[in-house]
A and B are shown apart, each in its own frame.
Chain A
Amino acid sequence: MSRDSDDAKVDLTPQNWSDLPVEPVTDVSHETGFQVVNKSVPRRDGVAKVTGRALYTSDITLPRMAHARIVRSPVAHARITSIDVSAALERPGVYAVLTGEDLKALPHTHYGHAVPDHAVLAIDKVIFVGEPVAAVIAASERIAQQAMEDVVVEYDELDAVITVDEALSPEAPVIHGRAFTSGAFRGFEEETVAGQTSNICEEAHVGWGDVEEGFSQATTIVEGEYYYPMAYAYAMEPYVAVGDVSDNSLTVYSSAQHPFMVRHDLAHVFGMSLGQVRVVVPYVGGGYGSKSYTKIEPLAAACSWWAKRPVKIQLGVEESILTTRGDDALVRMRTGVDSDGRIIAREATIYLNSGAYAENSPLVCKKSANRIVGPYAIPHVKVDCYSVYTNTCPASSFRGFGASLVTFGAESQIDELAEKLGEDGLSFRLRNVADEGERFFPKMRGLDANLKGDLRKLAAMLEWDAEPQAGRGKGLAVSASDAGAHPITTAAIKLHGDGSVTVLTGSTELGQGSHTVLAQIAAEEFGIPLESVQVVASDTAIVPFERSTGASRTTTLMGRAVQEACQEAIAQLCEMGSEAFGVPPEEIEQESGGLRHGDRSMAWSELLTSFFGMPDCEIVGRAYLRRAGDLKELPPFWEIGCAGVEIEVDEETGRIELTRLAAVGDVGLAINPAMAEGQDLGAAAMGIGTGLFEELVYDGQQLANANLWDYRVPRFTDIPSDVRLELTQDQNGVGPYGAKGGGEGSLNPMSASIANALYQATGVRVHEAPLTPERVWQALQAKKSSQREAE
């Protein structure tokens, strides 16, 4: 075994590139002058991932490391009257047990980027079933697991509120009942309202024009109530973190999307400077927003602090569900159309069940309010959105948040309007969607996409005009999300003495392909082969600050930062070339792999050696992006969703099967087209999940289906073999070469597309996602009985 064992003890550098060269696949569909970008080169992490050598946080073991298991609350709302850990401590192999009481010795016990309401472990009170109450730290997971049974916790139960209705009733207990100051990274400016006197965690009010006036002019109005479920992102790698606290520093390895955000919370809790805290993120086994912001890192670090050794916390799937789910959304909405068939008014009230802690729900709330407007220029709009605390597990970001939640209702209602006008959903949308450049949302960037063109492509892929077979129906939907990608991004590159390059980036490789895409950009800029570029990522002690990896920002913002960092290095090289060539810098031209003056060329390596007088010296190029210049206006880009389906409905069982899936990815320019399409299909597959069967269900205080047996995610047979994907590459984004974000878009319209297709196939309209066989069957029965009554 020795050879394999050695091999498997992979080093702990953030990314271990040992990839063998693979023949690049060249994309010929889109003619450009690019050498490396806009080509479907193979993933840089390919070989590592197919050979099992890619290192994830779950794989990390440190010397002296202990394992912690978490004792969780069995009740939704209670005062903790006592915790007895003495029996657990007597077990051989148990090092320590940490409780909320012990945490009081830390500078801070609570964290939260939006609202610092989240206790590292419950202190005095628990507020949802599954809340961490104590951590047992032992030599092995098994010992910790067994010792958990010896931790005796006594509770004094309080009234709990599980639903939004319960939480907002005047008699409801106020879950937090204290004022909070705003967290440092909430992503918007208003002060927090969370927790003071009610269970409202955040509210958002968006509007313009005069909706009453708008509706009085409307000739057709549709009104309805829609529900989008609580969902579980199911990143296949459950939450995991290794904490290692020493006297004057703290290192955490974590499966986290935003290492710099996690660093902030850790520095806060432990009263350390940013420089004392190091967060390292190896490969991440899926994120989809669920690993945004801080999760179990403070607890892993606190266990290490308490047990005085490195501690790993590896959660399972059920515990991961209890850690973070998506907000659900109840939407009450009406939309009116004038006599020209134009949308004139939309009014909506949205309630989000955000669970026990704010997490990112305040931003989900703000974004839901914006995104329910859709990509339409509507003269009169009024939206009120409330994020509500309940005694359920905390909700936070999940891919496409704020868009998927409300687009189900918004785009169902568009089809209902079209139907009422006797028109089809495509022509209604073609008349109503905003034009490219149109400022359809006041004070925001104009639409940076040709959505009408995208819709026409989608219609062609769906063969929209062809009559579907009996029992089948087609549906489509669109969305435009004001990308939450706040443009604070910095990057550095090192040009090494031999002309190779290392990109230093805070963008985490979640599988979205950031390492490949960023390497492509650097190779393009320097005119060097892709193999000459390495990417080092997500180690806060090494790489420059990046706010986050999410909201489809990486290609646009980090891609641009890397491009500018390369250009800054090349400007330095021009100065060096000026000295070497003995001519002014402006006379020097860049060529592939170096600089040229007249017929004299110098490669990058020669320029460096001539400047330093020694081999192996290197220079650093850097770029700082902030809200300035063309990045001043928000959003940095609109993320477009444009997708549709053809489905077949079994009227006996209510079961929906997809027979075709089509999506247009409007990405400006795909740095790697095959990977961009892969993101689109992956996002669409998640949309199929929440469209058809994914839903977390509360039964009283408990989640009824917090496991993968009962919470079903899409499998091979759920995806139709007929999948059609197209990219729109109009180079109209603010990212490098006109790129803009993708990777969430196709999720957002998917559930509405399915609902719209169901209507076409059967004439029934379901207002509650997912469209499970039971819901569809009931709707079909209701239709049949009303038909019978009419006869």
Chain B
Amino acid sequence: MSDTSAQILLRTTVNGLDVAVAIEPQETLAEVLREKLQLIGTKVSCNVQVCGACTVLVDGLPVSSCTYLAYEARDRQVLTIEGLASKDGTLHPLQTAFIEENAFQCGFCTPGMILAAKSLLDQRPDSSEHEIVEYMEGNICRCTGYRSIVAAIQKAQASVADRSS
């Protein structure tokens, strides 16, 4: 009714499913995920790439979807928190570890936090505690004081190592 700007067609893959969606060129990935695809598990907080709440993985690497143009994700693989557990509902080791270690309270940072941690563990499965803390520096949690998150990542690290050994 009101959209004067030209729409473009975005083709991408989100959580393993091919998607074609009409977007405006200036739309961010967070807007498209949340508003067009109803993938509301991705949270937006600072909206200026400081807090990491909106982190999703594009081709396995973390991006701040609040400032990442959706069009940049064309022909790429996007993973959001909704796509992390396996199809039968089995939680990813990071999800289980976050629950077991009480690695969240309000949970608003959690989707972004878990996806950032996933990309770390995928890239460097044997990260030291120091490396974990450094890598996660871009994700803010206002509730926990972080130590439980570090513990959860280490626990998931151990269980991923167990499974692959």
Where the two chains meet, the residues of A that have a C-beta atom closer than 8 Å to any C-beta of B are 1, 4-5, 7-10, 20, 22, 25, 40, 42-43, 45-56, 58-59, 91-93, 138-140, 143, 233-238, 283-288, 316-317, 510-513, 674-675, 678-679, 681-682, 684-686, 707-709, 713-717, 719, 721, 723
* Most chain B CB neighbours (cut-off 10 Å) among A51, A92, A288: A51
Q: Is the CB of B50 within 8 A of A708?
A: yes
Q: Is the CB of A50 within 8 A of B43?
A: no
Hey, which chain A residues are within 8 Å of B146, CB to CB?
685, 714-716, 719
Hey, which chain B residues are within 8 Å of A237, CB to CB?
43, 45, 106, 108
- Pick from B45, B83, B91: contact of A50, CB under 8 Å: B91
Q: How far is the CB of A27 from chain B (nearest CB, A)?
A: 12
Q: Is the CB of A50 within 8 A of B110?
A: yes
Q: How far is the CB of A745 from chain B (nearest CB, A)?
A: 14
Complex CA–CA separation, A53 to B84 (angstroms): 12
Q: Is the CB of A5 within 8 A of B38?
A: yes
Complex CA–CA separation, A542 to B43 (angstroms): 28
B98 on the interface (CB 8 Å rule)?
A: yes
Q: How far is the CB of B49 from chain A (nearest CB, A)?
A: 9
Q: How far is the CB of A719 from chain B (nearest CB, A)?
A: 5
Hey, which chain A residues are within 8 Å of B39, CB to CB?
4-5, 8, 52
Q: Which residues from 100 to 144 on chain B have a C-beta closer than 8 Å to any C-beta of chain A?
A: 100, 102, 104-111, 114, 129, 133-134, 136-137, 139-144
Q: Is the CB of A717 within 8 A of B134?
A: yes
Q: How far is the CB of A207 from chain B (nearest CB, A)?
A: 37
Closest to A55 in B: B40
Q: Is the CB of A1 within 8 A of B105?
A: no
Q: Is the CB of A682 within 8 A of B104?
A: no
Q: How far is the CB of A96 from chain B (nearest CB, A)?
A: 14
B77 on the interface (CB 8 Å rule)?
A: no
Hey, which chain A residues are within 8 Å of B109, CB to CB?
236
20 CB contacts below 8 A, A to B, read A42-B100, A43-B102, A47-B91, A50-B94, A51-B81, A51-B84, A51-B91, A139-B1, A140-B2, A236-B43, A285-B45, A316-B47, A317-B46, A707-B48, A708-B140, A709-B48, A709-B50, A715-B137, A716-B146, A719-B145
* Main DSSP-derived SS at the A contact region: loop
Complex CA–CA separation, A93 to B4 (angstroms): 10
Complex CA–CA separation, A40 to B81 (angstroms): 26
Hey, which chain A residues are within 8 Å of B110, CB to CB?
49-50
Q: Is the CB of A285 within 8 A of B106?
A: yes
B59 on the interface (CB 8 Å rule)?
A: no
Complex CA–CA separation, A10 to B155 (angstroms): 30
Q: Is the CB of A93 within 8 A of B2?
A: yes
Hey, which chain A residues are within 8 Å of B107, CB to CB?
45, 48-50, 54, 283, 285, 511
Q: Is the CB of A682 within 8 A of B50?
A: no
Q: Is the CB of B105 within 8 A of A512?
A: yes
Q: How far is the CB of B80 from chain A (nearest CB, A)?
A: 7
Q: How far is the CB of B120 from chain A (nearest CB, A)?
A: 12
Hey, which chain A residues are within 8 Å of B14, CB to CB?
1, 4
Q: Which 7 A-B pairs have the closest CB atoms?
A: A52-B41, A93-B2, A511-B106, A511-B105, A285-B108, A49-B107, A685-B145
